[in-house]
């Protein structure tokens, strides 16, 4: 029974991939060049001119493009027990601020995080302050309150699993999280 379900799932997935495998195309609005008809006997289908096809370019939004700085640079790091944004992150926050203010329908979550040291309650509060600090800085660059939500994970979502200063430094951060679509 389990093998039948897996086989059915694979067939459905393959059918979906086959149906989505080609890029969308659009017909050109230009009139095709007239074609000369040879004096020899040719089938009628060979004598009919075919309209040229063009590929429609697809634009990927910067927050979905893995090569874009908006997509790759999304974390603001903090010093131990600190929630003020360092000056080295001014460019990153300004870039995201300008991007978000140019797309008022787009919204993000700012997720504050802390390292493993300290109680869960303390780290939740510290993560929230870090997220709020980034939110306030984004507002300076024109992002509206309705586009942002600041939340805290405290120490529950570490980026690095070690128990040393290098791992702790990776975990003291606020992440800008855009929607997946």
Judge whether 8 lies within some domain.
no
Domain containing 154 equals 69-177
Q: What is the CATH number of the domain that holds 157?
A: 3.30.1330.60
Q: Provide, rounded to the nearest whole percent, the portion of the chain with pLDDT above 90.
A: 64
Q: What's the predicted TM-score (pTM) here? A: 0.68
d(C-alpha 97, C-alpha 33), whole Å: 50
Residue 84 has pLDDT above 90, yes or no: yes
Residue 4 has pLDDT above 90, yes or no: no
Domain tally for the chain?
1
């Amino acid at each position: 029974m389990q093998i039948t379900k897996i086989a059915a799932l694979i067939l459905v997935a393959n059918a979906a991939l086959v149906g989505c495998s080609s890029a969308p195309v659009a017909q050109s609005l230009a009139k095709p060049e007239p074609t000369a008809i040879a004096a020899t006997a040719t089938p009628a289908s060979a004598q009919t001119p075919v309209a040229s096809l063009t590929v429609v370019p697809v634009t990927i939004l910067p927050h979905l493009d893995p090569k874009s700085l908006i997509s790759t640079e999304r974390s603001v790091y903090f010093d131990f027990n600190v929630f003020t944004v360092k000056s080295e992150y001014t460019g990153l926050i300004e870039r995201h601020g300008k991007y978000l203010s140019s797309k008022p329908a787009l919204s993000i979550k700012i997720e504050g995080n802390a390292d493993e040291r300290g109680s869960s309650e303390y780290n939740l509060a510290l993560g929230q302050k870090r997220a709020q600090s980034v939110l306030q800085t984004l507002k300076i660059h024109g992002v509206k309150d309705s586009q942002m939500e600041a939340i805290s994970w405290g120490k529950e979502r570490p980026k690095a699993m070690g128990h040393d200063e290098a791992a702790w430094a990776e975990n003291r951060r606020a992440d800008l999280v855009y929607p997946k679509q």
